[in-house]
Structure 1
Amino acid sequence: MISTVGDVAGWVQGEVVGDPSQIIRAARPLSDSPQADEITVVLDDRFLSQFHASRAGAAIVDMSAAVNGKTMVRVKDPLMAFVSIVKRFHVLPSPEFRGIHPTAIIHPSATVAEDVSIGAYVTIGEGCVIGPRCRLNNGVMVGHHCSLGEDVQLGPNVVLYDGCVIGNRVTILANSVIGADGFGYRTIAGKHVKIPQVGHVEIADDVEIGACTTIDRATFGATRIGTGSKIDNLVMIAHNCQLGRHNLIVGQVGLAGSVVTGDYVVMAGHVGVADHCKIGDRSMLGAKAGVHKDVPPDQKMLGAPATPAAEQMRIMSSLEKLPEIRKDIREIKKQLGISDS
């Protein structure tokens, strides 16, 4: 595909500074050494000098970027503009299967909208409702009495256990498992006896769930994921959890049973939250934070056990000085004639 800088600017409603007739054949980030017929992106003014030193023919930049001889396209949001351009040059639309594949197994009592895409070897159980424009990729298993709203997309081999309620415009990527048994046991007479998990999972509108994530059904009632929340790959959400609206849950987070989060909570990678903890609105938990008690709203927490970020930074600073402190203590004990044993 061959275009000009002027063409590219039109795609993203940008302003050309320089030569709009410059030929562009591809889009490539600065780290991939873009060439003279390629356009790149500058996400921060700190990288402008790297762009000017590169062979790139043009760059997508912020509206405030300074001019110094190379062709640029100024936009309000360089990242999203560049994503759009990359899609134009490099991302081929996937051929989309429409209709129901002959190998799909659908229970006669299920209700399936006419304009769906149901791939090979999909199974849909008794009493299910599959809404308009849903797309179920190959190997999906939908248990009995599940409900899917409009425009739901389930990636290959996604499993929905019985009773799952999925809202509108929900995306669940490959191999995720929604509604499996919660991990609940009682020790009776020296044996771990399973507590039956008879609840279900409810996922609200506009939620996205990454690959290989698991969300367990509730012991009773529902495990709930709030509207607009985005959950990364390899996340574990245990039974009875109640996530608020627009949470961001990054890879390898683990939430124990009955965790409750407010709205706009952010959890970075490897965060672990103990059972029955409550995380307040807009709180942010840094990578590898270990949360063992409730977190009030608007907090930034780091470390294990998690403490407020400012306090944790002081602790980390002190830890870095421990060898020096230990050396000083030995010297003082030596001067005082105190044994260091």
Structure 2
Amino acid sequence: MHATLAELAALVGGRLVGDGGVVIRGAAPLSDAGPGDITLIDRAERISVLSGIRAAAVVMPNWVPVNGLPAIQVDDVHRAFTVIVSRFRPVRTSGRIGVSPLAVVSAKARIGNDVDIYPYATIADDVQIGDGSTIHSGVHILPGTKIGENVTIFPNCVLYENTVVGPRCVIHACTVIGAYGFGYHCHDGAHHLSAQLGNVVLGADVEIGSSTTIDRGTYGSTIIGDGTKIDNQVIIAHNCHIGRHNLLCAQVGIAGSTTTGDYVTMAGQVGIRDHVRIGSGAVLGAMAGVMNDVPENARMVGIPATPEREQMVKLASLGKLPEMRRQLKHLQATVERLTRQLAEMQIDGVASGDSRETQQAKT
């Protein structure tokens, strides 16, 4: 599979710079690109790297100067490069299979048009699956679940009863939606599970990585807003309301009844306590420990999470602690020396005064 650089420029709507007849046989990042490959740079600081690579051409931003290598200049490098990579490495699909005879589908389930259900999936009573959706092998969908159109659920996921999945959602392997929340009360010396009567509602265009868990609400719904993207191994506890277009990176843990606004970003391993409100546009740095409400558009880092600028000042101060300790010890020694000298001067002064008084008495 190959294409000329001019053909690729037309494919992505970019501006061709240099020889459009260059034949491109693959696409790869800078570190892996070889002869015949097209690569990419996304910022001016990397332009100097191009002189040492073997790639045949490069995709680059419109505002980055060309260095002589044949190029395609575009507004959005990563979007264009994704299209080019897909041209050379299209996503492999097995084609439509319909409902496999090896799947277990309840007679009470309502299956839409053009739905694929792979072997060993189980679809329980009163489940609804919208048109064009794909349910892979080993998926278990419990009673009353409603799945919208063009949803893809990858192998070995579990959707507990009454889960609602909006259109065009993607749920990756081994994710569990709607399990009981971790809520207990102590009675007669033992821990008893609290009511777990709610469900989980996923909005439209939600994407969830593998091995993520989203617990059902206690009485109402745990809600994930439209367009939110959730990475692998994320835990969202019961009663949380996650806003629209949030980005939750790997191993984020959100305790119960937390609410987020829209366009919130949480970096890896962020931990959030229960009943916290995160304002729209907030950014939480990696491993931030959020104990209190976060204002809109705030940037928070550290444990406990504090404003980024404040935390940077603290970190800068930490680097100065050894020198500050040496200075403090020097100051302590100086104070002790001066204190001793002052005490000696006071003693000498008292002694001199006593001597004068004695001589006056004799005279």
1:69 counterpart letter in structure 2: G
Q: Which residue of 2 aligns with 1:10?
A: 10
1:281 alignment counterpart: 280
Q: Verify the 8 A CA contact 2:195 2:219 in the aligned structure 1.
A: no
1:65 & 1:309 partners in 2: Cα distance?
31
Contact 1:61–1:75 (CA under 8 A) maintained in structure 2 = yes
Residues in 1 aligned to 2:251 and 2:327: alpha-carbon distance in whole angstroms: 41
CA shift for structure 1 position 97: 3.4
The runs of 5 or more residues in structure 2 that have no matched partner are 338-363
Q: Mean Cα displacement is larger for which, 63-72 or 163-172? A: 63-72
Q: 1:248 maps to what in 2?
A: 247
Give the aligned residue type for 1:266.
T
**d(CA) in 2 for partners of 1:73 and 1:52?**
17
Question: Could you say what secondary structure the match of 2:31 adopts?
Answer: helix
1:66 Cα offset (Å): 1.5
Do the aligned partners of 1:128 and 1:144 also contact (CA within 8 Å) in 2? yes
In the aligned structure 1, how far is the partner of 2:262 from the partner of 2:99? 38
Return the alpha-carbon distance in structure 2 between the equivalents of residues 190 and 332 of structure 1.
57
Question: Corresponding residue for 2:158?
Answer: 159
Give the alignment's Cα RMSD to 1 decimal: 1.2
Q: Does 1:30 align with 2:26?
A: no
1:332 is paired with a residue whose SS is helix
Preserved CA contact (<8 Å) 2:254 2:272 = yes
- What is the DSSP-based 3-state SS (H/G/I as helix, E as strand, rest coil) of the residue aligned with 1:31? coil
Give the percent of matched residue pairs that are identical in Structure 1 and Structure 2.
44
Residue 92 (structure 1) shift? 4.5
**Which stretch of the first structure deviates more once superposed, 121-130 or 1-10?**
1-10
Give the partner amino acid of 1:27.
Answer: A
Query: 1:238, 1:129 → 2: CA distance?
Result: 25
CA distance in 1, matches of 2:184, 2:236: 17
Q: What is the CA distance between 1:211 and its match in structure 2?
A: 0.7
Instruction: Return the alpha-carbon distance in structure 2 between the equivalents of residues 312 and 295 of structure 1.
Output: 15
Shift in Å, 1:53:
2.4
- What is the rounded CA distance, in whole Å, between the counterparts of 2:308 and 2:296 in structure 1? 14
Write the distance in 1 (CA, Å) between the matches of 2:90 and 2:138: 25
Matches of residues 8-87 of structure 1 in structure 2 within 5 Å? 8-32=8-32, 34-87=33-86
SS in 2 for 1:257: coil
Alpha carbons 2:159, 2:177 under 8 Å: kept? yes
For 2:38, what is the secondary structure of its paired residue? Answer: strand
Aligned position for 1:145:
144
CA distance in 2, matches of 1:6, 1:119: 41
Q: Distance in 1 between matches of 2:78 and 2:4?
A: 20
Partners of 2:106 and 2:67 in 1: how far apart?
66
Query: For 1:50, what is the secondary structure of its paired residue?
Result: helix
Q: Deviation of residue 64 (structure 1)?
A: 2.0
Q: Which amino acid aligns with 1:75?
A: V
TM-score by length of 1: 0.96
SS at match of 1:293: coil
3-state SS, counterpart of residue 316 of structure 2: helix
The structure where helix makes up a greater share of residues is 2
Q: Quick one: structure 1 residues 129 and 308, their matched pair in 2 at CA, closer, same or farther if it must change by over 3 Å? A: same
Counterpart in the other structure of 2:354 = none
CA distance, structure 2, for counterparts of residue 320 and residue 150 of structure 1: 55
Q: Deviations over 1:10-55 (max 9, x none)?
A: 21112211111111111111111x2231111111111111113212
2 CA distance for matches of 1:35 and 1:306? 44
1:86-116: CA deviation from partner (whole Å, max 9, x where unpaired): 1111235222233001111111111111310
Q: Do the aligned residues in 2 keep the contact of 1:97 with 1:119 (CA within 8 Å)? A: no
Query: 8 Å contact 1:102–1:120 — kept in the other structure?
Result: yes
| Paired residue secondary structure (1:99) | coil
2:111 matches 1:112: yes
Q: Aligned partners of 1:114, 1:73: CA distance in 2, in Å?
A: 41
SS in 1 for 2:191: strand
**Deviation sequence 1:180-229 (CA, Å, 0-9, x none):** 00000112232212113111111111111111100000111110001111
Asked if the contact 1:29–1:41 (Cα under 8 Å) also holds between the matched residues in 2, the reply is: yes
* Structure-2 residue corresponding to 1:305: 304
Stretch moving more, 249-258 or 192-201: 192-201
Which residue in 1 is equivalent to 2:333? 334
Higher CA-based Rg: 2
Total equivalences in the alignment: 337
Is residue 133–residue 150 contact of structure 2 (8 Å, CA) maintained in 1?
Answer: yes
Contact 2:47 2:67 (C-alpha < 8 Å) held by counterparts = no
AA partner of residue 180 (structure 2) = D
Q: Which amino acid aligns with 2:200?
A: V
Which residue of structure 1 lines up, in the alignment, with residue 344 of structure 2? none
For residues 284 and 317 of structure 1, the distance between their equivalents in structure 2, rounded to whole angstroms, comes to 21
Q: Does 1:201 align with 2:200?
A: yes
Q: Distance in 1 between matches of 2:121 and 2:302?
A: 43
SS at match of 2:126: coil
